[in-house]
Amino acid sequence: MKTKVDIDYSSDWPLAPAPESMSHINLKEKYDLFINGKFVKPKSGKYFDTFNPANEKLLAKVALGDADDVDIAVKAARKAYTNVWSKLSGKERGKYIFRLARIIQERAREFSVIESLDGGKAIRESRDIDIPLVSAHFFYNAGWADKLDYAFPNRKPKSLGVVGQIIPWNFPLLMASWKIAPALAAGNTVVIKAANTTPLTLYKLAEAVKDAGIPDGVVNVVSGRGSVVGMAIVNHPDVNKIAFTGSTGVGKIIMNAIAGTGKKATMELGGKAANIIFEDAALDQAVEGVINGIFFNQGHVCCAGSRLYVQESVYDVVLRKLKGRMQSLIIGDPLDKNTDIGAINSKDQLNTINEYIKIGLKEGAEIYQPECTLPKKGYWCKPTLFTHVAQSNRIVQEEIFGPVLAIQTFRTIDEVIEKANNTPYGLSAGVWTDKGSKIFNMTSQLRAGVIWANTFNKFDPASPFGGYKESGFGREGGIHGLEPYLKFD
Amino acid sequence: MSRIAILKTYKIYIGGKFPRTESGRFYQPKFDNKALANMCLSSRKDFRNAVVAARKAQGGWAHKSAYNRSQILYRIAEVLEGRKAQFVAELALQGSTEALAKEEVNLSIDRLIYYAGWCDKYIQMYSTVNPVSGSYFNFSVPEPTGIVAAFAPEKSGLLGLVTQICSIIAGGNTCVILASESKPLCAITFAEVLATSDVPGGVINILTGNRAELLTHFGSHMDVNAVLYCGADKNDIKTLQELAVESMKRTRIREDGDYFDAKHENPYYIFDFQETKTTWHPIEQIAGAGSGY
């Protein structure tokens, strides 16, 4: 009989705390709207609180905008577009965006810490992934500003005008860069809504926009309720295009609102990605990829690999390795450099996730969570794995947006393709196998916009990102990401 | 005594077959107050049957080699060339002058050739290898959106129809297309061309009937991936775009012009019905590179 050898993660030598210093960050008590190059009070005079989800402490007060503020912001953006931005050469436009990219690099540490404070994500991620990518997105798109004619042969690209953008709370600054960078490079001006639970870094970006000397009104930031500020942007008659990242449900509300108006749109919506492990895969790497696929950013990722399909012959060993690896994850203070999994973004989101865990149990699935102690204050969820689930279970069908993985098995390629594609979503998918021909078979059959083969959750400004089916349309990143911000003769 | 001519029965085209509408209804398009024919007044059920046929054909058509798709489009043009006279006569019946009818048929053939040539090229134009920062091979390719439900231009019975069909199927999609209501004759005769041109059944499905009746069904069918509307009716467009939301159909609007203009020959019409797929794969040890130089 073979003996199982597992790594023993227990130790008498726990890691010493390694908190990132907060001494260099600069947070105001109150953040006003950023309109026409100035920080201005909201017309309502009202503010809302933004908390640190890891300890429920107040971080700052943020302007609660409304439709009047949006109107002022759109007017500022239109004025800036007509008088300044559309008259600049692509080259000059590009130089402003390059400047912004550099300032973000210079202030990367400050931005990372604030991103982790406001959103609960591990500093390791905001420091090594979010903020470097933010800068990279501005850098990449800056260079396009004076080269658009080469991107679309025979097409004479022209800017659209004023673009309305709405971003989610999971990667606040990164999503802002995905939106703002191509919009500016293409020659548009922007009104962007900050996410409700994580508005701070977008206002920090506004400071950087100011420091970069980007003309007043080219970038305007508003915050407030989605149903008020978001819908005011969507419905404003002088907005030429809507770019939205968020849930499929809200995406549909927006698409309904702009039907028949002639407004352009990009929708980057929900997902329920299949991550598929074949028996010939390098299993340790695959398990690492599964962990990264579902627990990256506490699972608050639209392209998270939340459905795991394991070929039957290696199911037992994959499950054992996965559980072992989950036991080794460090959950706790987002600002600690050793932390793997930080805090759940908000109380509401924690409730949603817990609700889904209950649903999973009720549906008869078997749950596994590693043994660990969670901090007493703040919003926390143990990494969670469900086995014995069926394709029809809600935890397999619906986007949970949390650290919850559902595992199923398969025997043949046809079977797993059918199961993987059997969802209204089509944002991303993962394939793990050592056989190249199998990878290309899988990647051509999976109906999803981004396929990771022997890797997962990788992003780059040069790499187009976006979905099939109800995961939305339009691409962000790469040459493809410019098209949604341009019109053609 | 002169010979009694045989009148043609115009049916619809679904899954490579020519059924009558299941509804048993008909309508009479007219020119100069003279009825041209008894056309099928297609129903919602006909449309649904056509979508089933289009879905069945989708995978096979999308996975045919680009070279093969190109040859099939070329074959359609060949067969159409051989039957020019019939189309000219039908266009004349619908009110076209003979000179204009000839030009429309010639252009329709040429347009098929134009798009036949794109089948194995547009992918190269739109594909990219993306220089990501990291040890990964990363590339993006266009893939067909799926099933396109289309309203052909009302004013351009043959050329407009052919242009839309080309732009949809050249990129590996299948389609269900509603012919011009007032000028439907050529659409069904064109289906006969398709039936003898190696186009697999179900790739192109052609209905005749009333746009207003079928509009909401085209927009709301959950197994349709994209809707193409040729026209400018604001209410129609709004309705379609609203209905398209539920399954996130892509909606495309094109003009209801004469389609003679060369601007209707461009690969961006193909890209209208493409999705972009990006694939990532690790490259081992890029850091040690350099020895190859």
For residue A250, the model assigns a pLDDT of 97
> Across-strand partners of B137?
B281
Q: Is B283 on the interface with A (CB under 8 A)?
A: no
> Across-strand partners of A182?
none
Chain B: nearest CA to A150, how far in angstroms? 12
The yes-or-no verdict on residue A2 having pLDDT over 60 is no
For residue A161, the model assigns a pLDDT of 98
Task: Compute the CA torsion angle A134, A292, A430, A276 (nearest 10 deg).
Answer: -170
Helix (H) or strand (E) holding A432: strand A428-432
The yes-or-no verdict on residue B120 having pLDDT over 80 is yes
In whole angstroms, give the CA distance from residue B199 to residue B196.
Answer: 8
In whole angstroms, give the CA distance from residue A142 to residue A219.
Answer: 15
Q: Chain B residues with CB inside 8 Å of A454's CB?
A: 281-282
B75 and B36 Cβ atoms separated by less than 8 Å? no
A115 and A443 Cβ atoms separated by less than 8 Å? no
Q: Is B262 on the interface with A (CB under 8 A)?
A: no
Which residue among B63, B235, B276 sits closest to A449, beta carbon to beta carbon? B276
Interface of A with B in 122-151 (CB under 8 A): 136
Q: Chain A residues with CB inside 8 Å of B63's CB?
A: 444
CB contact under 8 A, A252 and B246: yes
CATH number listed for the domain at residues B36-258: 3.40.605.10
Domain locations along chain B: 36-258
Which residue among B244, B247, B276 sits closest to A464, beta carbon to beta carbon? B276
Provide the whole-model pTM: 0.95
Section A48-76 average pLDDT: 98
Which residue among B138, B250, B277 sits closest to A460, beta carbon to beta carbon? B138
In whole angstroms, give the CA distance from residue A54 to residue A120.
Answer: 6
For residue A15, the model assigns a pLDDT of 83
Chain A: nearest CA to B273, how far in angstroms? 11
Q: What is the mean pLDDT of chain B?
A: 96
Section A370-380 average pLDDT: 95
CATH number listed for the domain at residues A274-453: 3.40.309.10
Q: Is A397 on the interface with B (CB under 8 A)?
A: no
Interface of B with A in 106-135 (CB under 8 A): 125, 128, 130-134
Q: Chain B residues with CB inside 8 Å of A462's CB?
A: 130-133, 138
For residue B74, the model assigns a pLDDT of 98
* Catalytic (active site) residue A268: yes
In whole angstroms, give the CA distance from residue A157 to residue A150.
Answer: 10
CB contact under 8 A, B281 and A455: yes
Reduced to 3 states, what is the DSSP secondary structure of residue A72?
Answer: helix
Chain B: nearest CA to A470, how far in angstroms? 5
Section A91-106 average pLDDT: 98
Section A93-111 average pLDDT: 98
Section B207-230 average pLDDT: 98
Which residue among A260, A452, A458 sits closest to B134, beta carbon to beta carbon? A458
Reduced to 3 states, what is the DSSP secondary structure of residue A352?
Answer: helix
In whole angstroms, give the CA distance from residue A235 to residue A66.
Answer: 13
The yes-or-no verdict on residue B32 having pLDDT over 60 is yes
CB contact under 8 A, A473 and B248: yes
pLDDT per residue as tens digits for the range A138-181: 999 999 999 999 999 889 999 999 999 999 999 999 999 999 99
The yes-or-no verdict on residue A295 having pLDDT over 80 is yes
Residues 6+ apart with CB under 8 A from A453: A430, A431, A432, A439, A442, A443, B279, B280, B281
Which among A460, A475, A486 is the top mutation candidate for probing chain B, defined by the most B β-carbons within 10 Å of its own β-carbon? A460
The yes-or-no verdict on residue A9 having pLDDT over 90 is no
**Tokens linked to A277:** 């492990």
CB contact under 8 A, A470 and B247: yes
Q: Name the amino acid, one letter, at A488.
A: F
Residue A13: which pLDDT band, with cuts at 50, 70 and 90? confident
* Catalytic (active site) residue A363: no
For residue A380, the model assigns a pLDDT of 98
Classify residue B33 by its DSSP letter: T
**Tokens linked to A26:** 């600069």
The yes-or-no verdict on residue A459 having pLDDT over 60 is yes
Classify residue A393 by its DSSP letter: S
The yes-or-no verdict on residue A356 having pLDDT over 70 is yes
CB atoms within 10 A of CB A268: 28
- The β-bridge relationship of strands A158-159 and A486-487 is antiparallel
Task: Compute the CA torsion angle A464, A465, A466, A468 (nearest 10 deg).
Answer: 70
Section A282-306 average pLDDT: 97
In whole angstroms, give the CA distance from residue A164 to residue A240.
Answer: 8
Q: Chain A residues with CB inside 8 Å of B281's CB?
A: 439, 453-455
Q: Chain B residues with CB inside 8 Å of A465's CB?
A: 278
For residue A14, the model assigns a pLDDT of 78
Residue A136: which pLDDT band, with cuts at 50, 70 and 90? very high
A239 and A76 Cβ atoms separated by less than 8 Å? no
A243 and A255 Cβ atoms separated by less than 8 Å? no
Q: Is B237 on the interface with A (CB under 8 A)?
A: yes
For residue A4, the model assigns a pLDDT of 62
**Tokens linked to B137:** 């091979």
The yes-or-no verdict on residue B292 having pLDDT over 70 is no
Torsion region of B4: left, alpha or beta (phi above 0 gives left; psi -120 to 50 gives alpha): beta
Which among B220, B239, B245, B283 is the top mutation candidate for probing chain A, defined by the most A β-carbons within 10 Å of its own β-carbon? B245
In whole angstroms, give the CA distance from residue B189 to residue B195.
Answer: 10
Which residue among A248, A260, A480 sits closest to B276, beta carbon to beta carbon? A480
Residue B286: which pLDDT band, with cuts at 50, 70 and 90? low
Report residue A101 CA to chain centroid gap: 19
B250 and B145 Cβ atoms separated by less than 8 Å? yes
Section A182-199 average pLDDT: 98
pLDDT cut 70: percent of chain A above it: 98
Residues 6+ apart with CB under 8 A from A347: A53, A379
A306 and A273 Cβ atoms separated by less than 8 Å? yes
Residue with tokens 């550099």: A102
pLDDT per residue as tens digits for the range B233-271: 999 999 999 999 999 999 999 999 889 999 999 999 999
The yes-or-no verdict on residue A1 having pLDDT over 60 is no
CB contact under 8 A, A473 and B128: no
Q: Chain A residues with CB inside 8 Å of B143's CB?
A: 444
For residue A70, the model assigns a pLDDT of 98
User: Which value does ipTM take for this structure?
Assistant: 0.95
Helix (H) or strand (E) holding B278: strand B274-282
Section B210-235 average pLDDT: 98
> Across-strand partners of B148?
B175, B226
DSSP calls for A435-484: -HHHHHHHHHHS--SEEEES--S---TTS-B--SGGGEES-BSTGGGTGG
Chain A: nearest CA to B220, how far in angstroms? 13
CB contact under 8 A, A462 and B132: yes
- Within a 13 Å sphere around the CA of A277, how many CA atoms are in the beta-carbon half? 31
Interface of A with B in 434-473 (CB under 8 A): 439, 443-444, 448-455, 458, 460, 462-466, 468-473
Classify residue A331 by its DSSP letter: B
> Across-strand partners of A451?
A429, B279
Which residue among A443, A468, A479 sits closest to B279, beta carbon to beta carbon? A443
For residue A5, the model assigns a pLDDT of 60
Which residue among A155, A439, A475 sits closest to B276, beta carbon to beta carbon? A475
Domain locations along chain A: 30-269+469-487, 274-453
Beta carbon pairs, A and B, within 8 Å = 109
Q: Which residue of B has its CA nearest to A454?
A: B281
Q: What is the mean pLDDT of chain A?
A: 96
Among A268, A399, A476, A483, the one annotated catalytic: A268
pLDDT per residue as tens digits for the range A227-236: 999 999 999 9
User: CA A134 → CA A103, A142, A455, distances in Å?
Assistant: 11, 12, 21
Q: Chain A residues with CB inside 8 Å of B246's CB?
A: 252
DSSP calls for B130-153: ---SSSEEEEEEEEE--EEEEE--
**Tokens linked to A467:** 């979905």
CB contact under 8 A, A450 and B134: no
The yes-or-no verdict on residue B291 having pLDDT over 80 is no
Fold of A30-269+469-487: Aldehyde Dehydrogenase; Chain A, domain 1 (3.40.605)
